[in-house]
Amino acid sequence: MRFSEEFEARFAEMVPHYPTKRSVLVPTLLFAQDEVGYLSDEVIAEIAGRLDLTELEVRNVISYYSMLTTKPRGKFNVQVCTNICCLVRGGENILRHCEKKLGIGHKQTTQDGLFSLEEVECIGACSWAPAAQVNYDFHENLTAEKMDKVLDEYRTKATQ
Amino acid sequence: MTQSQNHLMATLVSHPDEVKVVSRRFGQGAADIDRYLALDGYKAVQKALAMEADAIINEVKNSGLRGRGGAGFSTGMKWSFVPKQSAKPKYVLCNGDESEPGTCKDRLIFEHDPHSVIEGVIIAALALGAQSGYIYIRGEYRYLSLIMQKAIGEAYARGFLGKNIFGSGRTVDIYWHGGAGAYEVGEESALMESLEGKRGLPRIKPPFPAVVGLWGGPTVINNAETLASVPHIILGGAEWYARLGTPKNGGTRLFCLSGNIAKPGVYELTMGYNLKRMVYEVGGGIPDGRKLKAVVPGGSSCPCLTADEIDVAMDFDSVAKAGSMLGSGGVVIIDDAQCIVKFALRTMKFYKHESCGWCIPCREGTDWLEKTLTRFHRGGGLRKDIDNIQYLSENMLGRTFCALGDAAAMPTIAFVKKFRKEFEDHLEGKPCPYEKEGAVEELPVMA
Amino acid sequence: MADISLTIDGKKVATPAGTLLIEACKTAGIEVPSFCYYPNLSLCGACRMCVVKIEKMPKLQTACTTVVSEGMVVTTDSDEVKQARKGTVEILLGNHPLDCPVCDAGGECELQDMTFSYGAAESKFMEAKNHKDEQQWSPVVFFDRPRCILCFRCVRVCNEAMDVAALGVQNRGVSSIIAPNKEDHLECEECGMCIDICPVGALTSGAYRYHTRPWEMKHVGTTCTHCADGCKTTLGVRRADTGMEIVRGDNRDKSGTNGDFLCIKGRYAFDFAHHPDRLRRPLIRQNGKLTPATWEEAFALIGKTLASIRDQEGGAAIGVVGSTRTTNEEAYLLSKFARVVLKTNNVDHHRTADFPALAAALQGKTQKTASMADVFTAPAILLIGNDPTEQHPLLAWQIRNNVRLHRARLYLVNSHPIKLRKQAAGFLQIAAGSEAAFASFLAGKDDAASSADKDAWGALRDKLRREQNLVIIFGSEIRSAAVGDLVNFGLTIPGAKFVCLGDYANSRGAADMGLYPDLLPGYHPTAGNSEFHREWGEVPQMPGLDFPAMAAAAKAGKLKALYVAGSNPIGRMGVDPFVFSKSFVVVQDMFLTETAAMADVVLPAANAYEKQGTFTNTCGDLQLVKKAGEVTDTKNDFEMIVRVADAMGFDVRKLVPFGGGVRADMGQSRGAQSGEADRHAVWLEAHGLELKMSPFDPMAILDEIQRLVPGYGVSRMSLLAGNAQHTSLTNVGAGAAHKPELIAPANDSLFSSGTLGRYSNTLQSVIESREATPSEVAAD
Ligand SMILES: Cc1cc2nc3c(=O)[nH]c(=O)nc-3n(C[C@H](O)[C@H](O)[C@H](O)COP(=O)(O)O)c2cc1C
Ligand code: SF4
Ligand code: FES
């Protein structure tokens, strides 16, 4: 199992920051997921091995954190917040709009593997609601039109 | 994964009533260490280096600074609980998990003034005799992690961190740490579990973190805003800071105005600032000629205040007197076009999704409340459900392992008590009177 | 620790500092309910059932996580507390399937009991319950998720007490689940502790599920018949056409030294008793074929033949092989039968450890052997050889948990990196076969260590010398002289005690009861004048033949008869059955083993779960064996031996002290001492015991054992009460067994158990399923 040099550098840098090896687990899993797209059995085995954990222990942790997934996702994970602040400013309509536009529902992925859709909890954009995150990018004060633009932007980004 | 720089910066607002302390450097490029230094950066820590540990703690005590993470506990007091002597290393842990719905202030601090957090952590470390600090930032805030990592790097490069900081002979190391999506991990003991690479389950207390924390060592856990306030207190003095606010509620805090309001945004106002003015003057009132229905004054876990309950001073004690909590500074405005049942449902859906599942009342309680509220909102509600919802919530209140259960119960009880009529309007299969044209019935998917 | 005084429901209570409030309440006789709290497992505070009101505390507190403090005032039965518990049960039932009528745990369910006592009569909930299908995690472990109340007991017992860590918790909130280590199945030691500890019917046993209802069973607490550790296991029996069928083994009776523990064998491997191949009729060889016969025919033939061989050829022409799985009474009886009825010392059994060497080394010492309970409390332990995790599961449990709970220091010396090294304070890996050298090094012979080893060995020896009350445990790797060395070293350590590891349920008993050609019970040499010579009357002085010698004699036509009770020497020692073709061979067994197959007469035997008596575990703890199951047309070895003696025209009163008439002539019957007072009657009198009325009553022989066998004079009262009674090797005879090379360890694993294991479908199915899913991380 090989990760990018960037990953290896970050991993090597982080481990000595803590008195126990496993302390790097959560951020490391997220970085690994960012590279591979999801936490495959291979990734789990690799990280478990590095941190002297059993695969069970690693899975216990993965399944706890909502950003971590063991199933492949689209290139762009569209995460629409529908929590209270977004709710009262039409966050749900944004979600429904994405569902229609992408033709997929919560935690589903488009045929072309480009987009995944997810209804998420508060992402810390309450004062700029309604908001969504595509992968790690924030998109705020959304309207249906704005959402369309955002999605198109990523689609073109993918084709370039 | 892709990380494009545009699409990140959150928009800033401002209002003449603001008293800018923590937000002083917002929008001035202070993420860069030279700009930060030019704006009095790292002066406080040098002052602190010349002070006795107890002097620092007393300064913070006297400033009346209270935790900005939600509980509002006296920061100086918390620091004073840490034993002077300890066989195990002591730690400072900055809580940047910011996940309480309605709260988006720490994000601005990390984005615009990361060094102030670093400086706050160093000062705390000096006060406690700790040599390492961790800054935990929620996973969704990836771009802030990068900013923070860069800032930490700069501080090391200047000799502000590491061995012999500022040539003082003292050692303070600070590391960034990232989460991966979990509200409960904001709870201080769960935060430590997560940092130790485990599931974010809360720990049995006592022992409290100040005595047995990270890896068994005494640990002080503070919210990012709390720590960012510390340098200003050290520089400006406890008295000045205390006087900004009301008795026992020193200084200013970042209020995140959100919801149905004309000028949403994060404003820094003095502790005790009047909520009504906050809504109608600072926030510019309710748009589209709508009327105010309710305000959630401190993040989703605080009981709502009705339109006629909001003439209250926004400090911990006054809001508590008014039957709610100042919480994390998330002020959510709800207008009369919103359905309280729906709002209560969405709130419960959140807590159900975020419950760690450790204790029965929280795990099962949030599930059943969410199910009942869903059915209820769809028009399948029975009269006894209204009492059941309250009964269930009251059975959770004060009975759960950590405060998440309370956070789910308290607002729900308030919604039922203060808006019973709206619940009754959903009875006998009546469709939700608030569902707007074209709006799709919300189905609880997530999980 | 100093006592703390507090008030619970108005009662003044004093408990040691550091006590948990929930335990303090228990001792005060106040029941505080709990699901997640479990003694000796890490604290959870998860179920919130144990909430109580503590003065000056705003919220209710969990008694399971609160440590008592001076002057604490506690209320456990206020309305607030009751309401809190009621509310928790209510909400718990919300998602619980309530399929109690078809649930294995129905009637033995803590949730049912809790609902009964804390009431959630009317259900407030009308939402759909979260459902999930039942999963099979292994041949013996099933998981019914909806029933799970997430008390996390299973996870903790597996991780903390078993150190197997095969169970975890996944997802969060209401989707939280208990998860097995291989995603959809378990790969573990299959101990079933998770099933035993589950308060509801979420984890169920593949061997028992849907067989019957708890209240339809009779529950018999007896001693496990598999390894030599002697766990108490509770067998659930039910009427069946063949007598009484054993349908469940578990650990509901936690009064044994094994406490909470049972391994896969003690829990599930009772099913050999119902194997279709079980012998149910006596068989007599007629023109070359074993053909069914009546008991009368069988006994008559055996009696006649053995008597004539003894009278014409002499007892030396008869050989006897005893068992490591029959009771002490049967082993003693067989030993006595051989000597006084058959007049032979040709007696042997399957030796798996050098108990005689330990006995000899401890000559003149007292209280130098450790009990299984001691292994859980000793401050330090030295283990040389063996792999308890596989071969002595209870011993491993005792060691592990002593280290975990009492911080005992464990020193390991082994040729393999055995799993217990995780608990070890020191692990010395030595070359296979150099265990004896290490022992003599300990004893001070420095040159026993190669120059390469000297430093490591020396360092460990120094550490050990600094210990006190060290328990020294050794496997069959340490024999004869090496045992002496080890004991000599041990005796220099204040309070040191020893454990010698044999392999079968009554290996120790077989040795103590003298199933040796040169030893009588209590390790008294055949040559000499021990109590046994005096009490039994004529005992041949010349040491007899061990089994290989018997085989040789048979080959040479000198051994005319072989009497085998519950043993399979042919299969075990790889002797060509043909050598016995000219001898008259009698075999008592459950199955047609290699030995039985070549016999002239085969008697269908009952097993230890079907008879009464006692076992002595490898530590020397004497425990009661109780009759649970019953298979018609079988007899226990005890009755068979007595019947054979009778058929040989022997006065069975001289074999088994029973019956009214005994008192009168028993005195005279004691050969050399004729006329002298009847010691047996005197002893019975002194112990307030009655003379037994039946020649088939093993208790009659237990009387004689307790009276004559050194160390066995333990409290009969306590023994019958079901407690383990330690019999220390004290005042034993001077005899030492010869021929250490005859010791053949069974090398059973967690999933094998000699002949019994071969006939246990449960063990076989586990072995097969593991072969089907090969393990990358073995048992370790
Ligand atoms: C369920 C739960 C979630 C919490 N989330 C956060 C959070 O996201 N950020 C935070 O600073 N404090 C959070 N807290 C409060 C912390 O437990 C802790 O009180 C706080 O970080 C202490 O810092 P302070 O004294 O500076 O407020 C949370 C508490 C609970 C019970
Ligand atoms: S450890 Fe030995 S005695 Fe105990 S149950 Fe297992 S096999 Fe039986
Ligand atoms: S027993 Fe105390 S919370 Fe479970």
Q: What single string gives the DSSP state of each residue in C6-56?
A: EEETTEEEEEETT-BHHHHHHHTT-----SS--TTS-----S-TTEEEETT
**Does the pLDDT value for residue C733 go beyond 90?**
no
Cβ <8 Å between B182 and A64: yes
Spacing, Cα C37 to ligand 3 middle (Å):
5
In chain C the first and final C-alpha atoms are separated, in Å, by 38
**Does the pLDDT value for residue C663 go beyond 60?**
no
Nearest-Cα distance to chain A for B57, in Å, is: 27
pLDDT at C106: 85
Tell me, what's the ipTM? 0.93
Q: Which residue among C166, C169, C777 places its CB closest to the CB of A60?
A: C169
pLDDT at B428: 80
Residue C395 alpha carbon, nearest atom of ligand 2: 1
pLDDT at C660: 63
For chains A and B, count residue pairs whose Cβ atoms are closer than 8 Å: 184
pLDDT at C91: 92
**Does the pLDDT value for residue B326 go beyond 90?**
yes
**Residue among C202, C212, C207, C199 at smallest CA distance from C233:** C207
Return d(Cα C508, Cα C514) in angstroms, integer: 10
Nearest-Cα distance to chain B for A102, in Å, is: 17
- Bridge partners of B274? B313
Spacing, Cα C85 to ligand 3 middle (Å):
11
Answer whether C249 contacts ligand 2 (Cβ < 6 A). no
Write the DSSP assignment of C528-539 as a string of letters: S--HHHHHH---
Token representation of residue C569: 């020497």
Nearest-Cα distance to chain B for A2, in Å, is: 17
pLDDT digits (tens, 9 = 90+) for C147-192: 999 999 999 999 999 999 999 999 999 999 999 999 999 999 999 9
pLDDT digits (tens, 9 = 90+) for C268-303: 999 999 999 999 999 999 999 999 999 999 999 999
pLDDT at B443: 52
pLDDT at C674: 47
In this structure, are residues C205 and C192 in contact, taking their beta carbons and an 8 Å threshold? yes
- Out of C229, C261, C623, mutate this one to test ligand 2's pocket (max ligand atoms within 8 Å of CB): namely C229
Cβ <8 Å between B401 and C46: yes
**Residue among B262, B263, B253, B210 at smallest CA distance from B228:** B253
Confidence of residue B435 (pLDDT cuts 50, 70, 90): confident
Q: To the nearest 10°, the Cα dihedral for B316, B319, B324, B326?
A: -40
Task: Write out chain A's pLDDT in tens, 160 residues.
Answer: 899 999 999 999 999 999 999 999 999 999 999 999 999 999 999 999 999 999 999 999 999 999 999 999 999 999 999 999 999 999 999 999 999 999 999 999 999 999 999 999 999 999 999 999 999 999 999 999 999 999 999 999 988 7
pLDDT digits (tens, 9 = 90+) for C239-277: 998 899 999 998 888 889 999 999 999 999 999 999 999
CB contacts of B103 in chain A (<8 Å) are: 122, 124, 126
pLDDT digits (tens, 9 = 90+) for C368-408: 999 999 999 999 999 999 999 999 999 999 999 999 999 99
Confidence of residue B285 (pLDDT cuts 50, 70, 90): very high
Answer whether C262 contacts ligand 2 (Cβ < 6 A). yes
CB contacts of C95 in chain B (<8 Å) are: 364, 367-368
Q: What's the longest Cα–Cα distance across chain B?
A: 74
Residues near C668 by beta carbon (within 8 Å), at least 6 away in sequence? C674, C675
Residue B103 alpha carbon, nearest atom of ligand 1: 8
Q: Give the number of C-alpha atoms closer than 13 A to the C-alpha of residue C288, restricted to the C-beta side.
A: 0
Mapping DSSP to helix (H, G, I), strand (E, B) and coil, where does residue C498 land?
strand
- Out of B92, B93, B188, mutate this one to test ligand 1's pocket (max ligand atoms within 8 Å of CB): namely B188
Return d(Cα C316, Cα C558) in angstroms, integer: 9
Report yes or no: C91 at the B interface, CB cutoff 8 Å. yes
For chains A and C, count residue pairs whose Cβ atoms are closer than 8 Å: 26
Return d(Cα C780, Cα C777) in angstroms, integer: 6
Q: Which residue among A23, A106, A157 places its CB closest to the CB of B446?
A: A106
Of the listed ligands, the closest to the CA of A121 is: 1
Burial, B32: exposed, middle or buried (Cβ in 10 Å; 0-12, 13-18, 19+)? Answer: middle
Mapping DSSP to helix (H, G, I), strand (E, B) and coil, where does residue A121 land?
coil
Of A75-89, A109-123, C522-536, C658-672, minimum mean pLDDT range: C658-672
pLDDT digits (tens, 9 = 90+) for C62-100: 999 999 999 999 999 999 999 999 999 999 998 888 888
Nearest-Cα distance to chain A for C752, in Å, is: 27
**Residue among B386, B396, B180, B67 at smallest CA distance from A24:** B180
Token representation of residue C77: 């039965």
**Does the pLDDT value for residue B151 go beyond 80?**
yes
Report yes or no: A60 at the C interface, CB cutoff 8 Å. yes
pLDDT digits (tens, 9 = 90+) for B97-107: 999 999 999 99
**Residue among C250, C240, C227, C322 at smallest CA distance from C273:** C240
In chain B the first and final C-alpha atoms are separated, in Å, by 23
Cβ <8 Å between A85 and B199: no
**Residue among B71, B191, B68, B213 at smallest CA distance from B128:** B213
For chains B and C, count residue pairs whose Cβ atoms are closer than 8 Å: 101
Report yes or no: B353 at the C interface, CB cutoff 8 Å. yes
Of the listed ligands, the closest to the CA of B316 is: 1
Of the listed ligands, the closest to the CA of B354 is: 1
Answer whether B294 contacts ligand 1 (Cβ < 6 A). no
Q: Model's pTM, two decimal places?
A: 0.94
Answer whether C259 contacts ligand 2 (Cβ < 6 A). no
Q: At what angle do helices C698-708 and C679-686 cross, to 10 degrees?
A: 90
**Does the pLDDT value for residue B385 go beyond 50?**
yes
**Residue among C662, C657, C660 at smallest CA distance from C697:** C657
Return d(Cα C542, Cα C353) in angstroms, integer: 24
pLDDT (mean) for C759-776: 83
Cβ <8 Å between A56 and C777: no
pLDDT at C736: 75
CB contacts of C173 in chain B (<8 Å) are: 352-357, 363, 366-367, 447
In this structure, are residues B225 and B66 in contact, taking their beta carbons and an 8 Å threshold? no
Cβ <8 Å between C176 and B363: yes
Q: Which residue among B354, B371, B399 places its CB closest to the CB of C173?
A: B354
**Residue among C75, C105, C99, C515 at smallest CA distance from C338:** C515
- Out of B74, B95, B110, mutate this one to test ligand 1's pocket (max ligand atoms within 8 Å of CB): namely B95
Cβ <8 Å between A54 and C777: yes
Q: Which residue has the tokens 């088939």?
A: C696
Mapping DSSP to helix (H, G, I), strand (E, B) and coil, where does residue C426 land?
strand
pLDDT at C521: 97
pLDDT (mean) for C515-541: 94
Token representation of residue B129: 């005799």
CB contacts of A157 in chain B (<8 Å) are: 2
Number of Cβ within a 10 Å radius of residue C1: 8
| Helix spans in A73-119 (H) | 84-87, 91-102
User: Which residues sit with their C-beta closer than 6 Å to ligand 3?
Assistant: C 34-37, 44-50, 62, 64
Q: Which residue among C48, C124, C173 places its CB closest to the CB of B366?
A: C173
Cβ <8 Å between A56 and C169: no
Q: Which residue has the tokens 């708890």?
A: C214
In this structure, are residues B226 and B65 in contact, taking their beta carbons and an 8 Å threshold? yes
As a whole-number percent, the residues of chain B with pLDDT over 90 amount to 92
Q: Which residue among A56, A63, A64 places its CB closest to the CB of C181?
A: A56
Number of Cβ within a 10 Å radius of residue C5: 12
- Exposed e or buried b per residue across C477-496, where buried means at least 16 C-beta atoms within 10 angstroms of its C-beta: bbbbbbbbbbbebbeebeeb
Spacing, Cα C438 to ligand 3 middle (Å):
49
Mapping DSSP to helix (H, G, I), strand (E, B) and coil, where does residue C631 land?
strand
Distance of alpha carbon B166 from its chain centroid, rounded? 32
Return d(Cα C114, Cα C84) in angstroms, integer: 13
Return d(Cα C80, Cα C73) in angstroms, integer: 16
**Residue among B365, B359, B427 at smallest CA distance from B390:** B365
pLDDT at C676: 52
Report yes or no: C172 at the A interface, CB cutoff 8 Å. yes
**Does the pLDDT value for residue B411 go beyond 50?**
yes
Answer whether C224 contacts ligand 2 (Cβ < 6 A). yes
Where on the phi/psi map is residue C180: left (φ > 0), alpha (ψ -120 to 50), or beta? beta
CB contacts of A70 in chain C (<8 Å) are: none
Answer whether C621 contacts ligand 2 (Cβ < 6 A). no
pLDDT digits (tens, 9 = 90+) for B209-264: 999 999 999 999 999 999 999 999 999 999 999 999 999 999 999 999 999 999 99
Answer whether C230 contacts ligand 2 (Cβ < 6 A). yes
Burial, C440: exposed, middle or buried (Cβ in 10 Å; 0-12, 13-18, 19+)? Answer: buried
Residue of A nearest to B345 (CA): A84
> Which residue minimizes the CA distance to atom 24 of ligand 1?
B67
Q: Which residue has the tokens 């593991």?
A: C770
Answer whether B372 contacts ligand 1 (Cβ < 6 A). no
Confidence of residue B8 (pLDDT cuts 50, 70, 90): low
Spacing, Cα C637 to ligand 2 middle (Å):
23
